[in-house]
Amino acid sequence: MKNIINIAVVGLGQVGIYLLNELNTKKKDIEVKTGKRINIVAISAKNINKKRRFKINKKIFFKNPLEIFKNKKVDILFEVIGL
């Protein structure tokens, strides 16, 4: 059984930022409770230059979310794009 869960988040609005923050701050708790390590492998948003409360890792950023599946092994994708 796999011990690492690769996660992608598409949409970096309020919900997407909150989700990333929760995943990052609770990584240790999740690993202890599940035995699985969380690995954020991709993020996507319409505009990389938009001012955000955190620095975007350009190595895992995809302007086109469909490109994520061509380049990354993703186990879970959270789509949190608003209207």
Taking 90 as the threshold, does the pLDDT of residue 6 lie above it? Answer: yes
CA 9 to CA 6: how far, in whole Å?
10
Tens of pLDDT, residue by residue over 40-54, are 999 999 888 787 777
Contacts of 78 (CB under 8 A, 6+ apart): 7, 8, 9, 10, 11, 16, 19
pLDDT digits 0-9 by tens, 11-43? 998 899 999 999 999 999 999 999 999 999 999
pLDDT of residue 58: 87
Is pLDDT above 70 for 75?
yes
User: What is the reported pLDDT for 1?
Assistant: 62
